[in-house]
Amino acid sequence: MTGTPPLCAAPDPDPRAPAFDVPAGACDCHFHIFDGPSPQVAERSYTAPPAPLPAFRHLQRTLGLTRSVIVQPSVYGTDNRTTLQTCVADPAMKAVVVIDEDTPPDVLASCREQGAVGCRVNMLFGSNAQIDSLAGLARRIADHGWHLQILGDVSALHDSMDAFAGFPVPVVFDHFGHLAAAKGVNDPGFTALLRLLGDGHAWVKLSGAYRLGPAGPKTDAAVADLAAALIAANPDQLVWGSDWPHPAIPQQEMPNDGAVLDALAGWVPDTALRNRILVRNPARLYGFDDDA
């Protein structure tokens, strides 16, 4: 790679409160921190803006969220120090890290002790992580009780999607499966995702909707159709995430996180079901205490 990858816009510093009552124990299941000791790797696809923990805490308070899951971003590669240092000090936070296939067992154990509950494979953005076999990686993490988190476009993975059913760990797909929303619910990769979800072999994050197409009512309607199909398939294995601070998104204006959370209420107008997605489902997946 030549030159410095483009600098992403900073998040909106003034999130507004959501328009609905957020339940106690609600969890943001996908956010990043860009601060601290981890350097941004040369192989990255973008340059992250500053996004320190105090800014995320302000977001949490404003949205009424009490639990969270920090996700290792691609720009830090396999250096999980920033992610784990953020997590270890907060009993209401879990972490998803990035590892190689040859990461030593003692390092995996140390990550688990610092709050890691899963590892992420990023198929879309550049990193220095070296992974040749998803099945092999799943076997490595199974003894730690972790899940495998996939950032990949399911429309490009449709020939291999059914293999995830045989993995010895839960498989979590970021951002609706990250297919272009205009491809619709009948896309072969998305229908494979629906099968996995319906059979209990997959989880899906209702997050990053702005990554799925150009801003506007056509994309909004298409995303709503995807959400409806996922809910019909298995609402008990869906979770929500803000995707703060929204790095590398295909739009100039950064979203306000109050509107990001309100989008969930649009997709899931039933209060009881929405509360399951915000509280009970992430408690099961990430191992939070059941008491909210």
Q: Where are the alpha helices (DSSP H) in 89-211?
A: 105-113, 134-142, 188-198
Query: Is residue 239 pLDDT above 90, yes or no?
Result: yes
Least confident range of 1-10, 45-54, 121-130, 279-288: 121-130
Kindly report the pTM of this predicted structure: 0.95
In degrees and rounded to multiples of 5, residue 62 shows phi and psi of -65, -40
Q: Give residue 292's pLDDT.
A: 43
Q: What is the CATH number of the domain that holds 165?
A: 3.20.20.140
Please state, in angstroms and rounded to a whole number, the distance separating the CA atoms of residues 146 and 263: 29
pLDDT band at 1 (very low <50, low <70, confident <90, very high): very low
Domain ranges, residue 121: 27-286
In the annotation, is 243 catalytic? yes
Query: Would 9 be classed as within a structural domain?
Result: no
Please state, in angstroms and rounded to a whole number, the distance separating the CA atoms of residues 267 and 226: 9
Q: List the one residue out of 197, 276, 253, 264 whose CA is nearest residue 224.
A: 264
Q: Give residue 16's pLDDT.
A: 98
pLDDT band at 289 (very low <50, low <70, confident <90, very high): confident
Percent of the chain past pLDDT 70, that is, above it, reads 96
Give the number of domains in the chain. Answer: 1
Query: Would 51 be classed as within a structural domain?
Result: yes
Query: Is residue 31 pLDDT above 60, yes or no?
Result: yes
> Could you say which of 174, 187, 243, 257 is catalytic?
243
Question: What mean pLDDT do residues 149-172 have?
Answer: 95
In degrees and rounded to multiples of 5, residue 30 shows phi and psi of -160, 105
Query: Would 63 be classed as within a structural domain?
Result: yes
Query: Is residue 203 pLDDT above 50, yes or no?
Result: yes
Please state, in angstroms and rounded to a whole number, the distance separating the CA atoms of residues 78 and 139: 19
Question: What mean pLDDT do residues 3-32 have?
Answer: 96
Question: What mean pLDDT do residues 200-204 have?
Answer: 97
Query: Is residue 36 pLDDT above 90, yes or no?
Result: no
Q: What is the mean pLDDT of the chain?
A: 94
Whether the Cβ atoms of residue 130 and residue 98 lie closer than 8 Å to each other: no
Pairing between β-strand 27-31 and β-strand 147-151 as defined by DSSP bridges? unpaired
Query: Would 4 be classed as within a structural domain?
Result: no
The backbone region for 113, taken as left when phi is positive above 0, alpha when psi lies in -120 to 50, beta otherwise, is alpha
Query: Would 215 be classed as within a structural domain?
Result: yes
Percent of the chain past pLDDT 90, that is, above it, reads 89
Give the CA angle between residues 216, 197, 217 to the nearest 5°: 10
Q: Give residue 86's pLDDT.
A: 97
Query: Is residue 204 pLDDT above 80, yes or no?
Result: yes
Query: Would 6 be classed as within a structural domain?
Result: no
| E strand map for 209-270 | 238-240
Per residue in 185-200, pLDDT (tens digit) is 999 999 999 999 999 9
Query: Would 151 be classed as within a structural domain?
Result: yes
Q: Give residue 7's pLDDT.
A: 94
Per residue in 81-132, pLDDT (tens digit) is 999 999 998 999 999 999 988 899 999 999 999 999 999 998 877 666 666 7
